[in-house]
Amino acid sequence: MRRPWILSALGVLLSILIAACTNAPSQQPLTQTPTNPNSQELAKTPAKRVVALSSLAADIIYQLDSTKLVGMTGSKLFKDDSRLTNIPRVSEGQTPPNLEKIIALKPDLVIGAEGFSNQPIQKLKDLGIATILTQIKNWESLEKLTQQLAELINADPQPLLNRYKNFLAAKSTQSPSTLILVSRQPILAPNKNSWAGDLLVKFQAKNLVAELQGTSPIGGYVTLSAEKVLEANPEVLIVVNNSDPQLLDSLKKEAFWQQLQATKNNRVYTFDYYGLVNPGSIDAIQKTCQQLTQVLSAKT
């Protein structure tokens, strides 16, 4: 009788693990250094042909120097982006990167995501191609990655770093107690060790599960019972759109839903998965920052 519940839970966990390729769950350092033995040589000889296996890395490289990006992973974030139409895709959706396509592009640097691209990155490394594994779990790691990639392609990171600062310029003067829910079975919420949790800190929201640790296989996330949600009783409740488009409707069926002060005060908000859970792209991050400013500043 428990099999459907277990399958549903595994499905949610798997969707986050796969889609969140830029903030993969791991206790590794927040940003990885170049993994090749010749990384020092790479730093001395700027890369001119870069393939990015994560949407965020592709976006950063393109905005640092559009001439250096010769291949990228497919992503719905860039489906209608005319700037990137002519950049070859080396993978689509959840399919593994096509190594033959990557090699054919003759890259002198391939950027992967820790926990998602490890296997293809290792194969490319064995072929003598310079590689990097990256991981983004907080704002500081985003800045460090941008600086690192700029150095590797001999670009100026400052315009992009200034843009990041502008995202944080308009902050709420309030600090409402806040809870982010990314799934229902199980009920998952980000603590302080996640991209989403760090964003709440940046925007001065009080993350009610910031200090909680749990047994969730996803680093930076804790599993909550219905009783724990009711006990937390957030002033602001954020529900994330992910692989389950019915998440908000399903949460409304929970017994605790109508008892929450966020529900009573009409302070329940829906956020996109990209930008809040998975950084995804620079535009997605900007949109999320703007939305956080709005909802955290809203009057009850």
Separation between Cα atoms, residue 55 and residue 84, nearest integer Å: 11
> Which of 108, 132, 167 is the C-terminal boundary of a domain?
167
- The reply to whether 102 and 133 lie within a common domain is yes
b/e code 47-68 from CB counts within 10 Å (16+ = b): bebbbbbbbbbbbbbbbbbeeb
- The reply to whether 72 and 117 lie within a common domain is yes
pLDDT-derived band of residue 42, with 50, 70 and 90 as boundaries? Answer: low
Domain annotation covers residue 88: yes
> Which of 149, 167, 185 is the C-terminal boundary of a domain?
167
- The reply to whether 220 and 156 lie within a common domain is no
pLDDT-derived band of residue 5, with 50, 70 and 90 as boundaries? Answer: very low
- The reply to whether 16 and 49 lie within a common domain is no
- The reply to whether 44 and 13 lie within a common domain is no
pLDDT-derived band of residue 216, with 50, 70 and 90 as boundaries? Answer: low
User: Which residues have a Cβ under 8 Å from the Cβ of 295 and sit 6 or more positions away?
Assistant: 236, 238, 267, 269
Q: How does pLDDT run across 229-249, given as a tens digit for each residue?
A: 999 999 999 999 876 678 999
pLDDT-derived band of residue 45, with 50, 70 and 90 as boundaries? Answer: confident
Number of domains in the chain: 2
Residue 71: phi, psi to the nearest 5? -165, 150
pLDDT-derived band of residue 14, with 50, 70 and 90 as boundaries? Answer: very low
Question: Would you mind telling me the total number of residues written for the chain in this entry?
Answer: 300
- The reply to whether 137 and 178 lie within a common domain is no
How high is the pLDDT of residue 40? 42
- The reply to whether 47 and 159 lie within a common domain is yes
Separation between Cα atoms, residue 130 and residue 275, nearest integer Å: 28
pLDDT-derived band of residue 298, with 50, 70 and 90 as boundaries? Answer: confident
- The reply to whether 282 and 177 lie within a common domain is yes
DSSP assignment letter at 230: H
CATH of residue 103: 3.40.50.1980
Domain annotation covers residue 33: no
Q: How does pLDDT run across 84-141, given as a tens digit for each residue?
A: 989 999 998 778 899 999 999 999 999 999 888 899 999 999 999 999 999 999 999 9
**What range defines the domain where residue 249 resides?**
3-20+172-297
- The reply to whether 54 and 154 lie within a common domain is yes
Domain annotation covers residue 34: no
> Which of 167, 192, 208 is the C-terminal boundary of a domain?
167
User: Which residues have a Cβ under 8 Å from the Cβ of 110 and sit 6 or more positions away?
Assistant: 50, 51, 52, 53, 102, 121, 124, 129, 130, 131, 132
- The reply to whether 120 and 183 lie within a common domain is no
The pLDDT mean for the chain works out to: 85
- The reply to whether 240 and 127 lie within a common domain is no
Share of the chain above pLDDT 90, in %: 68
Domain annotation covers residue 25: no
| Residue 11 CA, distance from chain mean position | 18
